[in-house]
Structure 1
């Protein structure tokens, strides 16, 4: 387990656990200053900085020190993440990773990642997850790209939206975002079990991340606005967004910039999307970070004028292979022996028999002959059901050792809905 002391060795030594120690409250400003510098040195608004200070779990955050100087940072928020089957599984949300430019290529990052994964294992959390500023970094530590996100710029002048029955029964009203926070959080909480990758906001403060609205981050757009969707006097959805006015030779060219949208059913979701398409004096709806299987893509009249883009989002790392694979369910029966390679966390290496179906699973060590061979990185990519094992095999990253084992396991690992991370950390 982590302590609040330097873990032995000369105080100035870095590139091993000798220069690592758990973050102390009195060191937070220096620690966070190193992180900001690693990401370019632009200061954050006071409200944003203070919220991250409040959310910091000090016993789960590490600093690398060279004498009295912070030269590396990392942390691990305590989350419960939905996995296929709907169970909330403890997961370490790896965050705020940065190394001073003066200390690159000296093993600082590797030492922090190793110590962190050892800590996560000691905490009894079978999974670690992160979003990557540079995707090339984290594969060598066993993280696999497990979900993707959708962005779009929709030409709302030329794209119409066909909505399902019941949409007209949904009432929309403007509200101050803070005034309806509790009702919006109740909607979010009901949706968490329905999609792999969603995070339960069980610690105070996380609900306020969606309300952060520093003027420096608006880029000429309005303050954050909120519309709630109601049916029978009950809130069934909400959208948070900004409006950026604009005018050109032909008239208005304003944009709606979507921050968040959640609806408890198709009609509630459609009512909110239709509203965003129709805001006066705007002609573009800017959408970022949405699920890749979201329904509005099948409701628009012209998908090409939505200018879709897909990019990586969630990276998943199995810290305890047996516990992680047993924590989720499988959409088809599976009985397969996996030969797992994991040189960074050698306690995971070896053969594991995974047996499971839609009701539950077990994963235990075995001496039986292996049927699929892969690294923990591929298991992380496939874990949430968004990346097929057959695709990884086609890329040369999974080897089939028993004919038929790959197709069986690939179907079983899948998910009926795409995994998605609803907000950053």
Structure 2
């Protein structure tokens, strides 16, 4: 066996994917496997083989992701990473991470790499920083009321709702809303062909007694302005009282009225007393529309990890909330071509970032740069933890750069990959 990863040949996909599934103890349906086969980019997928058997896997996906400022830029999505338990502690993961980043850099099309992590502690040593979190809530709708502003409530009441017990029947309407929403929030991914099917995957084993996936669309003058995909799990107490759950899978709206109309619909579904919402943005407007946040049982978790592959191109690809002129000293042990000083000059319209020999204003690792890149974590917060250092204390460079890197909305990853 050699630790050198090899490019996946299409004829090897079945064995390669079976190795991945074994590592995650997964039990997928034929429909799920067919979809994953269609979405796999074989030419960007790699594996390590031992005596003809795959023992490690990894893939890259060609995404386009929204960044602060509204641009949607190429990003390499790291996915399908596994190492067989019989081959741990042999450097296989490191060799695959090395190969992926070298390949991305050589191709020259993507300055960012992103991933979701099955275990949060794995990828920091390869320069990936936590760039976006997600919110979950379990809302007692029998006790929590929606408090909609009068104008929003009136406008929402004038919107039309179209509901279907078959979510796929409203696919076109949902995707038109989603496409318009992407540039508005950093971290959102454009839906490349085939990816519109991902949110519709609904195997019975994952329903836990809930209904098949349903959908409701909000229309204004016949034009879709919002949608929600959800399921209903009915439950009765011993006394016969209905205490079912609405399980929200996905919700997107283009304005406050559409958002309010969707939540009011979910609140009013018959025979239910709870809405369970997972994977929502940290700043979901719902948090400001409930009269009792304590009965919403909110929590957050890590979602998207990001690392600049090419620091200069990555920082030049996004906009900045305020004018910025700063020299960053970046340390990147895994991709040493990023190590050095970079002068960043930019504003809301765009930026330039080039190597420089000028004295540094701030110093940080590429991991911290990844954490701050989408605007969800401030440079000042990282400095408070000792992870970003102001080289000339009192200069104001940290405060100015932190404000510039910020985003007016929290970054969010709408679905896994």
- Determine the structure 2 residue equivalent to 1:112: 96
Q: Select 2:80's aligned residue among 68, 80, 96.
A: 96
Following the alignment from structure 1 to structure 2, what is the Cα–Cα distance between the partners of residues 13 and 119? 19
Q: Select 2:145's aligned residue among 155, 160, 171.
A: 160
Following the alignment from structure 2 to structure 1, what is the Cα–Cα distance between the partners of residues 37 and 367? 31
- Determine the structure 1 residue equivalent to 2:401: 409
Q: Is the 8 A contact 2:2 2:48 kept in 1?
A: no
| Cα displacement (A) at 1:152 | 0.3
| Cα displacement (A) at 1:402 | 2.0
Q: Select 2:212's aligned residue among 220, 223, 229.
A: 223
Query: What secondary structure is seen at the aligned counterpart in 1 of 2:168?
Result: coil
**What's the CA shift string for 1:113-161, capped at 9, x where partnerless?**
0000011112221000011111100000000001110000000000011
Query: What secondary structure is seen at the aligned counterpart in 2 of 1:213?
Result: coil
Query: What secondary structure is seen at the aligned counterpart in 2 of 1:180?
Result: helix
| Cα displacement (A) at 1:38 | 1.0
- Determine the structure 2 residue equivalent to 1:53: 37
**What's the CA shift string for 1:203-254, capped at 9, x where partnerless?**
3110011111111111110001111111111111111100011111341111
Following the alignment from structure 1 to structure 2, what is the Cα–Cα distance between the partners of residues 181 and 24? 33
Following the alignment from structure 1 to structure 2, what is the Cα–Cα distance between the partners of residues 88 and 123? 19
Number of residues of Structure 1 aligned to a counterpart in Structure 2? 408
Following the alignment from structure 1 to structure 2, what is the Cα–Cα distance between the partners of residues 13 and 24? 17
Following the alignment from structure 1 to structure 2, what is the Cα–Cα distance between the partners of residues 226 and 359? 37
Following the alignment from structure 2 to structure 1, what is the Cα–Cα distance between the partners of residues 306 and 62? 15
Q: Select 1:66's aligned residue among 50, 54, 58.
A: 50
- Determine the structure 1 residue equivalent to 2:414: 422
- Determine the structure 2 residue equivalent to 1:268: 258
Query: What secondary structure is seen at the aligned counterpart in 1 of 2:177?
Result: helix
- Determine the structure 2 residue equivalent to 1:338: 328
- Determine the structure 2 residue equivalent to 1:144: 129
Q: Is the 8 A contact 2:66 2:182 kept in 1?
A: yes
Query: What secondary structure is seen at the aligned counterpart in 2 of 1:314?
Result: strand
Following the alignment from structure 1 to structure 2, what is the Cα–Cα distance between the partners of residues 369 and 295? 43
Q: Select 1:309's aligned residue among 299, 312, 319.
A: 299
Following the alignment from structure 1 to structure 2, what is the Cα–Cα distance between the partners of residues 357 and 236? 31
- Determine the structure 2 residue equivalent to 1:321: 311
Following the alignment from structure 1 to structure 2, what is the Cα–Cα distance between the partners of residues 174 and 33? 38
Under a length normalisation based on structure 1, what TM-score does the superposition of the two structures give?
Answer: 0.95
- Determine the structure 1 residue equivalent to 2:267: 277
- Determine the structure 2 residue equivalent to 1:210: 199
Following the alignment from structure 2 to structure 1, what is the Cα–Cα distance between the partners of residues 206 and 219? 30
Following the alignment from structure 2 to structure 1, what is the Cα–Cα distance between the partners of residues 161 and 60? 38
- Determine the structure 2 residue equivalent to 1:356: 346
**What's the CA shift string for 1:17-48, capped at 9, x where partnerless?**
2xx111111111111111111112x3201111
C-alpha RMSD over aligned residues: 0.9
Q: Is the 8 A contact 2:46 2:58 kept in 1?
A: yes
- Determine the structure 2 residue equivalent to 1:245: 234
Query: What secondary structure is seen at the aligned counterpart in 1 of 2:113?
Result: strand
- Determine the structure 2 residue equivalent to 1:6: none
**Which is worse superposed, 340-349 or 249-258?**
249-258
| Cα displacement (A) at 1:301 | 0.9
Q: Select 2:224's aligned residue among 235, 238, 251.
A: 235
- Determine the structure 2 residue equivalent to 1:394: 384
Q: Residues 376-387 of structure 1: matches in 2 within 5 Å?
A: 376-387=366-377
**What's the CA shift string for 1:139-198, capped at 9, x where partnerless?**
000000011100000000000112224110111121232222112111100000100011
**Which is worse superposed, 156-165 or 358-367?**
156-165
Following the alignment from structure 1 to structure 2, what is the Cα–Cα distance between the partners of residues 104 and 338? 37
Q: Is the 8 A contact 1:330 1:413 kept in 2?
A: yes
Following the alignment from structure 2 to structure 1, what is the Cα–Cα distance between the partners of residues 51 and 333? 31
Following the alignment from structure 1 to structure 2, what is the Cα–Cα distance between the partners of residues 177 and 152? 22
Structure 1 unaligned residues grouped into runs of 5+: 1-11
Following the alignment from structure 2 to structure 1, what is the Cα–Cα distance between the partners of residues 260 and 107? 42
Q: Select 2:288's aligned residue among 298, 310, 316.
A: 298
Q: Is the 8 A contact 2:173 2:217 kept in 1?
A: no
Query: What secondary structure is seen at the aligned counterpart in 1 of 2:287?
Result: helix
Under a length normalisation based on structure 2, what TM-score does the superposition of the two structures give?
Answer: 0.96
Structure 2 unaligned residues grouped into runs of 5+: none
Moved over 4 A (4+): none
**What's the CA shift string for 1:46-68, capped at 9, x where partnerless?**
11111000011111111111221
Query: What secondary structure is seen at the aligned counterpart in 2 of 1:149?
Result: strand
